[in-house]
Amino acid sequence: MELRRYGRRALVVFVLLGLISLAADMVYEGARSASGAYLEHLGAPPIASSIIGAGEFLGYALRFVSGMLASYLGSSAAFWGFVALGYAMNVMVLPFLAFAGFWWIATALYLVERVGKGLRTPLRDVILAEVTEGVGRGKGFGLHEVMDQVGALAGPLLFAFMLIHYDYSKAFLMLLIPGTLAMIFIFTAWSLYPKIKSVEISPRKLSFRGLSRRFWLYTSAMMLQSLGFLHWAIASYFLKSWGIMGDAEIAMLYAIAMGVDAIIALPIGHLYDVIKFRSLYIAPIATLMIPLLLTTRSAILAYVMAAFWGLTMGASETIMRASIADIVDKEGLAIAYGVFGMLYGISWGVGGLILTLLLQLPAPTIIGYVIITQAASLITLGILNKHSAQE
């Protein structure tokens, strides 16, 4: 009886985690949909868009810090506390972009939001991995990503609507509504599932022993992929700077990317459950197509580019996260998610700076760079799959 009650509670928490992501994604994906265009609107130089991209490093580095600290504390309350604080920074800071009159203030607010995501993501994923254990992690993370991307689609669409009929200030303030709902869902989930099993049974110590050779191969492959993955802030900046699209259309383009992400999340999660790490080949192949299409400076091909961007994010948010839970033992999950997040963020931030500079040079330069990074990622994934098949 108690076991069945626990299972039902875990299912309710799984749904709540999806609703949290749905509401929160409406906020930060809505705000991010035209982030580069907004900076250009405020008179920012191109480097400002790559600073937001480099802000991913800040967020990912904090995933490591929060994962390590929560593991050391060994407390379910600490896990939930970091999750709640991180989401609060996600959803309650970005509406203040309505009052940012200078590009550097807007950039700072976008960076604060990344800090919040860094604090909560690895710990949220530990909880998610636990409550999806009975349904298959690939499908569980896939279903969560579908709900996540419903919000990621609705947010940019709402933001684009507001830009068409009003202005940036009112568009940002509208994001307070889903942000408030996200916080209500978080505290409801916390009250229903206060004890996290993998936290309560783990020793209160910091250890990297569970991070095997497969983990490091996997992390290396994904770091190489992220070196060539163009951040949306950078893409949207150049879409406006090159005169390809206006602000509202850029936000609509991002909504398309999020729609693709939502459509492929569940199928790609199921594919992962069937073929495991071989499904990861999708990420570097899709990543390669993004700069190839963007540098054509064609409005039509920009829509195709957005679809590949959504496909890459779908792989990142679904099978990349599920992979870690299958590579690392349960007691090392928080540290594993934190270490992976930090290293992935470093490479994505460095890659963003490089890509911003290369986009100001002839197109073959950036295309050659991305071909090299993604080929290296595919080779490393091949080694990972060979090593996994031998175990």
- Span 78-104, pLDDT tens digits: 888 889 999 999 899 999 999 988 999
Domain extent, residue 370, equals 2-390
The CA-atom distances, in angstroms, between 230 and each of 82, 153, 168, 226, 304 are: 29, 19, 24, 8, 15
Model pTM? 0.75
Residues 290-326: pLDDT tens digits? 999 999 999 999 999 999 999 998 888 778 777 887 8
Mean of all residue pLDDT scores within the chain = 85
User: What's the total number of domains in the chain?
Assistant: 1
The more confidently predicted of residues 31 and 54 is 31
Domain with residue 69: its CATH number is 1.20.1250.20
Which position has the higher pLDDT, 145 or 38?
38
DSSP for residue 245: -
Cite the DSSP H helix spans in the chain.
2-32, 35-41, 46-73, 76-93, 103-131, 137-165, 168-174, 176-192, 197-200, 213-227, 232-241, 247-275, 282-294, 299-317, 319-327, 333-358, 363-390
Which one has a higher pLDDT value, 331 or 221? Answer: 221
DSSP state of 189: H
Q: Which residue has the higher pLDDT, 386 or 368?
A: 368
What is the arithmetic mean of pLDDT over 255-262? 86
Report the range out of 36-50, 63-77, 126-140 with the highest average pLDDT: 36-50
Residue 373 reports pLDDT greater than 90: yes
